[in-house]
Structure 1
């Protein structure tokens, strides 16, 4: 009996081990089956296409820009003191020389009174020393020193009078008060900005033009301007400045000058408009265009894939012209009605079979 119990245990362990081996073998077979991948050969690359179209273009640039005041000046205090009164309000029209603000001038007037008294005394001294000089009681040098003292007093009064004028802040030009930065009672120092005046009787429309088009524009040429505010009105302007330095986006600033004297259709600085700038004659022409994204590679060595026989991608060299929005002008290499591939080119090579996705 003592050998029966160990034998039973041994047989149980062997049986359990056998079952575990069977289970592991079955799992391994399933894993191996899933790991096997059947090679699928893609015979046709999915692509989308578009038709080469003929598009009408003219020799004009239509560019959105912003109206800006041709003149804008900051009114700066030239005297120190407290502002005793402001004579203008924001949005008010003012003329050249009109009073904008008054600065406390009490101390300057006191200085002027003292200086005037000193000048009166100096004049009397000159008169008295002149009499002494005539009788030889003093030298010519002594008399000239007294005269110099009187002249210094006169110069001092002139300087104080100039400071007194600085306490009356006036507009240097005609325009509209666009902003007031201080209030009555504020303390100013020389150089403190009090207000801003803009002249919008003439405006500049600022547009940005890329390097390809800026060479076609000349100073003085006429420009038509349209706005969303007055959609039925065409404003007339002319190019008065062309930038000489491009910005980070390789664009140049063009300033178009126009009068703003139409009271029925007044424009304001900051509004948007569209400048229509002619770049040649006004004749219209038709050109072939394709989407920019259909051009493979760069515009310096352009190529496009053309759909042949309904399912073959044929790589063609083309010559491109200017870009019109998201379209590129094709000068040679394609014909109207050709089907060009617009997506999927990254997986293509010449002669590859494709499938057009609708």
Structure 2
């Protein structure tokens, strides 16, 4: 009995010891949890200041020169080419005769039509006199008059066909393609030659949606090419497409004066510089300051070595800088590097 009593006392002592130890451990844990948090660590960042500056639009594109005009001279009527009066590379003027088809058939047609018209004209005079003497009916006179008018139209058609044997240059320029030789039979619509007019050259480039709203028709454009290092050509925007293509680009055409002995040739690779300064002063920051996309733009602003996340509204992006329309003031300092480690209220140190 005494032994059982002693074992009970030992058991109670052990339980008490375990309870005491658990209580001590809990107090130690609570003490650690209630300790003051460690001081915030300053995160190194790079910064830039929001500044106002005169806006400079910098747009440079590449393109190829095309002729101001490229026109095909076509045979108007069919026939054998009786003469070809041009050679490849010739300079021709608008309206200049390039070739003639055999005119003999059309000359005969004209003679026949004129003879028929003359006979009907005499018949009309005769029947008109007979009508006055009541020796002919009005219906007969009307029929002869209509036949005569039809014959006059046949004369006009024959004259036109005879004139159409002459093939003329539809524009001034250089013969770039000679498609025929004398003696060849051609049908109406057959290509005789291709004429390229390089008194002006045309440059076609594509602009993005952001870029196209920064240019206007009539704007002066600087054109350069590797073919003539250091030489500048001056162009003018002649067309801006009102419709974007499937890649959301807009076609823009520039006319370049090329009258000085046509120094620029079709197909030459060129650079078109749309860059210009505007009179508008805008607030800008570096593009890398944005924490998200341009559509959901926000930046970290540094004040007293602490950052605040601010939403902003942006405008144009030009030469690595982006326009700030609202949300920032000139002089405010924004983080440009190290944003990934930041959150609202983070302490920062500015690195150079």
TM-score range, shorter chain: 0.5 to 0.7
CA shift for structure 1 position 70: 2.1
Query: What does residue range 18-167 of structure 1 map to in structure 2 within 5 Å?
Result: 58-167=56-165
In 1: Cα distance, 2:179 partner to 2:209 partner = 40
In 1: Cα distance, 2:260 partner to 2:280 partner = 31
| Preserved CA contact (<8 Å) 1:59 1:282 | no
Q: With the length of structure 1 as denominator, give the TM-score of the two structures.
A: 0.65
Counterpart selection for 2:269 from 253, 268, 272:
272
| Preserved CA contact (<8 Å) 2:57 2:318 | no
Structure 1 residue 213 corresponds to structure 2 residue 211: yes
CA shift for structure 1 position 271: 1.4
Q: Provide structure 2 residue ranges, at least 5 long, that are not aligned to the other structure.
A: 1-45, 300-308, 344-352
| Preserved CA contact (<8 Å) 1:223 1:238 | yes
In 2: Cα distance, 1:300 partner to 1:131 partner = 91
- For residues 203-251 of structure 1, give each alpha carbon's deviation from its aligned partner in whole angstroms, at most 9, with x where no partner exists: 2221211111101111122222222222222222222211111122221
Structure 1 counterpart SS, 2:207: strand
| Preserved CA contact (<8 Å) 2:57 2:214 | no
Q: With the length of structure 2 as denominator, give the TM-score of the two structures.
A: 0.66
In 1: Cα distance, 2:282 partner to 2:98 partner = 58
Structure 1 counterpart SS, 2:155: helix
| Preserved CA contact (<8 Å) 1:181 1:194 | yes
In 2: Cα distance, 1:136 partner to 1:211 partner = 83
Structure 2 counterpart SS, 1:149: helix
In 1: Cα distance, 2:197 partner to 2:82 partner = 27
Measured on the aligned residues, the alpha-carbon RMSD in Å equals 4.0
- For residues 63-82 of structure 1, give each alpha carbon's deviation from its aligned partner in whole angstroms, at most 9, with x where no partner exists: 11222222222222221222
In structure 2, do the counterparts of structure 1 residues 238 and 330 end up closer, same or farther at CA, with 3 Å as the change threshold? closer
In 1: Cα distance, 2:114 partner to 2:271 partner = 62
Counterpart selection for 1:240 from 224, 231, 238:
238
CA shift for structure 1 position 131: 4.2
Count, aligned residues = 287
CA shift for structure 1 position 184: 3.1
| Preserved CA contact (<8 Å) 1:58 1:283 | no
CA shift for structure 1 position 104: 2.1
- For residues 38-85 of structure 1, give each alpha carbon's deviation from its aligned partner in whole angstroms, at most 9, with x where no partner exists: xxxxxxxxxxxxx8899x994231211222222222222221222232
| Preserved CA contact (<8 Å) 1:66 1:270 | yes
Structure 2 counterpart SS, 1:281: strand
Structure 2 counterpart SS, 1:213: helix
What is the match of residue 225 of structure 1? 223
CA shift for structure 1 position 269: 2.2
| Preserved CA contact (<8 Å) 1:59 1:284 | no
| Preserved CA contact (<8 Å) 1:179 1:197 | yes
| Preserved CA contact (<8 Å) 1:82 1:104 | yes
In 2: Cα distance, 1:215 partner to 1:323 partner = 13
Q: Provide structure 1 residue ranges, at least 5 long, that are not aligned to the other structure.
A: 1-50, 305-315, 351-358
Counterpart selection for 2:278 from 277, 281, 289:
281
What is the match of residue 22 of structure 1? none
